[in-house]
Each structure stands twice: as structure tokens, then as C-alpha cells.
Amino acid sequence: MGVREFPGGSPRGKGIAASMRRSPDVSPRRLSDISPQLRQLKYLVVDEAIKEDLKWSRSVEDLTGGPAGLTSIEERILRITGYYGYQPWAASCKREERPRDGPGPAEAPAGAEAGRANRSGCRCSGLQLRKLSWGLAVVLCVCASWAGSTQLAKLTFQTFDAPFTLTWFATTWNCLFFPLYYVGHVCKAADRQSVKQRYRECCRFFGDNGLTLKVFFTKAAPFGVLWTLTNYLYLHAIKKINTTDVSVLFCCNKAFVFLLSWIVLRDRFMGVRIVAAILAIAGIVMMTYADGFHSHSVIGIALVVGSASMSALYKVLFKLLLGSAKFGEAALFLSILGVFNVLFITCIPVILYFTKVEYWSSFNDIPWGNLCGFSVLLLTFNIVLNFGIAVTYPTLMSLGIVLSVPVNAVVDHYTSEIVFNGVRVIAIIIIGLGFLLLLLPEEWDVWLVKLLTRLKVRKKEETAEGGGDLGSGPRNKSRRARSSFAR
């Protein structure tokens, strides 16, 4: 059996080994049937010298390499002793025999596992580095497209004063979402589907019956109206106030999303997000005060706050009514919004044209380059914002929106007569701080406590090591003195 007693009791070991040999025909009904042998086991230990011989035996193999089956004390003891012919491998541990090539390669799996762990760690760090690199590119793309579309809209209104027509024209480009997604699907997917198959699969997002007329008017049309209102109010606000104020006030939509989610969706209450919402509201008030509560600036601020509110309502209702969407489903939904815009919103620019609310003398006077450039930038912004999560973290994408504020501020400083007084700068900082607080994850406090605990432990270890080094100096000196005195 390869078992020996502690030093000083060799005859007793032989008796134990002999008493533990039983016929395989007999099987114990209870563990108490072998209780005398169990009491003797506490004096026994596996001999270090013969461990290698036991390594490939059936009982030891199943003890050390069994597939998480050693849960009861009875099974452990019966596996060790092989008592009464207990053979668990015959019933429940059926696996392939390992070749008995000797104990040499036994250390290879440990090395292989270590190498595998190192490779997986490198792979994880490489994946995170790649995500951060993509995140930087996505942040720059979001910032450039959002700031560029805002500045181009401001430039367009100098010669084409028609914000609703510009909204309708840019929203029509949403029809390109699903075709662009399908092109990416054909280039990337291993199992390519036809357009019809892909369309039907994405239509399951609306229910078992797919995209019916009832679903179109109940689940798509309301979002088409909210989309149009969000963009129209934002563009109309650009006519009234400078782009810096518009872009920073639109960042408040994050706070409105939290408040609506807390009320409507019963999301988790977070004190830090309440603070962020208060900061956003305080920033709005200070921004209004920055220009002295003139009617022109108050109307512009009200318009952009209304745009941020419509955007927040769109996001919360989408989560409430439709839930979360995959990439293909999101692309199809945005294309449906473009179709709704063409079918049902086209009449409004026509009415505004004939009533001369938004009027232009000739179609040759329309700055088609500015309109197409604005539409392309807005389409790029929405594509990156909706599909950028495939390559990076959502928090990094949101940073691009708040980073567009300083970009617009620099452009406004050189192209307009904006005055960055103290109140306006404080309002911009407060709203930006509130936006950043809303980007904190739900478990940020737990992570912060862990980080502080880790830093505290590291500091204690460094202090202990420093004290040990200082204490070793006098001891060495006393030893040298003692040895010289002995001489």
C-alpha cells in the first residue's frame, strides 16, 4: 500500500496494512463498519520515498487528478485505501488512460499551464491596449464629427436660414444605416446571408410578427418624431446663441437620462449622479445669467435644454419599449426612422416653404455643399456612437461629446464675438464636471475602496522593509564588534 507509520512504530504499520486487506466481494454498508481502521489512519502517512511509485496507481491517480469528485470524507478515505475493492473509476470516473511514461513529464503540465497563463495575460493586456487605441480613435472621431457638424450648421445659417429643412435633409440620410451595415456584414461575417434573410432576422427585434404596420406606427413613429424634435431644437438654438453654449448645454442630456431612468425605469439610486444632475441644473442657470437674462439668449438656452430633454426621453423610451438592440437591429431601426422622415415629415418643409417661414428664392442659392457636409458629419457621428461599442468602451465614446466643448470654444473665440467671462467659464466647468460624474460606473465606490486599501497595504510593506533595513545595520555592527573582541 505504500504507507508507513511515524518513526518509532514500524511493527504496527505491518498490522495495519494486513488488517486493511479485504476481499473485494464484500462491501461496507456504513462508514462505521470500518471505524477501527479509520482510527488507525491518523498514525499513517504516505512515504515520501515511494510517492513516485504510487503516482501512477489507480487510487492515487483518482485522488489527485479526479474531476472535482472528492466531496465526501467517505469517498476520500475509500479512494486512498482502495478498501473492499472500491473502484470509482469503473462507475463515474470514466476517462482516458494516461500513458505511464514515468514521472519525468509530470512537471510539464505545470509549466504548460504557467505558459498558458502568461500567454492569456499577454493576450488580455494586448486586447485592452487595442481597445484603448480604438477608443482614442473613436473619441477623436466623435469629437470632430460633433463639433464639425455644429460649426458647419452655424456657417450654413448665414446663407440658408432654414433649420427644419436642414433637419429633414440630414435625417433622410438615416436610410443609409442598414445598407452600410449589410456591406459590413458581407465583408466581415463568415456565414453570409442575403439581404432578405438579414432583414427578416433583424425584424425579430420588433416581435414575433416582425415589422408590421401596427408596429411601425406604435414603436417607430414616436421615435421618429422625437428624433426630428431633438435635431430641430438643437439647430434652432444654434441660430440664437453661440455654439459653445449650445454644445455644453446639450451635455446636460446625460443628467436628464439619469433622472428619467430613475423615475420611469426604477434604475438604481446613486448619490453621485444626483450631485451631477444638480451641477447640470446649476450650470444651466449660470449660463443663462452669463448674458444677463436677455430674451435672445434665454430663448436659445430654452431651445437647447428642450433638445437635451427630447434626446433623454428618446433614450429612456427606447429602453422601456424596445430594450437593447444588436448592431443589425439598431441599423434597421435607424433606417426605419429615415423612411418615416421621408414619408411623413416631408410635408412640413414644403408647408414652411410656401408659408415663407423657411423660404429661399432659388434652388441654386441653396448651399448644397454645406448641407451635404453637415449630413455626412451627423451620419458619421451617429454611426460611431451606435457601433463604436464593438471596438472600445462606451465611456470613451461619451468623452468625445464633452471634448467637443473646448473645440467649439476655440473656434468661437476666433470666429465670433463671444465673451468668456467668469460666470460662463464656471458654468462650462460645472456642467462638464457633472457630465464626467455621470460616466462613473455603478461600482465606482467599491473600486475606490479597493484601490485605497491596496495603496495602504503597499505603504505598510514599504515602511516595514525600510524599518528592517535600518534595524539590520546596528546588528551587523554589534556582530563585527563581538567577533573582533573574541579575537
Which residue is listed with cell 443589425?
328
Instruction: Please provide the average confidence, as pLDDT, over all residues in the chain.
Output: 76
In terms of DSSP H, where are the helices of 87-189?
Answer: 88-91, 108-156, 163-172, 177-188
Of residues 78 and 4, which shows the higher confidence score?
78
The confidence score (pLDDT) of residue 124 equals: 55
Amino acid, res. 293? F
The confidence score (pLDDT) of residue 409 equals: 92
Is pLDDT above 80 for 313? yes
Is pLDDT above 70 for 207? yes
Direct distance between the N- and C-terminal alpha carbons of the chain, in angstroms, rounded to an integer: 58
- Burial label for 435, CB within 10 Å (0-12, 13-18, 19+), is buried
- What residues contact residue 312 under an 8 Å CB cut-off, 6+ apart? 253, 256, 257, 259, 260
Q: What is the dihedral of CA 382, 386, 392, 396, to 10 degrees?
A: 60
Q: Indicate the pTM of the whole model.
A: 0.68
pLDDT bracket for residue 51 (50, 70, 90):
low
Q: With H, G, I as helix, E, B as strand and everything else as coil, classify residue 12.
A: helix
Convert the pLDDT of each residue in 214-231 to its tens digit: 999 998 999 999 999 999
pLDDT above 90 coverage of the chain, percent: 32
Distance CA(394)–CA(383), nearest Å, equals 13
The confidence score (pLDDT) of residue 189 equals: 78
Question: How do the residues of the chain divide into helix, strand and coil, expressed in percent and rounded to 5?
Answer: 75, 0, 20
Rounded average pLDDT over 194-202: 90
pLDDT bracket for residue 323 (50, 70, 90):
confident
Give yes or no for a contact between 177 and 388, defined as CB atoms under 8 angstroms apart.
Answer: no
Convert the pLDDT of each residue in 159-185 to its tens digit: 899 999 999 999 999 999 999 999 988
Phi, psi dihedral angles at 278 (to 5 degrees): -65, -40
Count the Cβ atoms, other than its own, within 10 Å of residue 187: 8
Is pLDDT above 80 for 198? yes
Cell of 180: 452600410
Half-sphere exposure of 203 (CA within 13 A, CB side): 14
Rounded average pLDDT over 184-189: 85
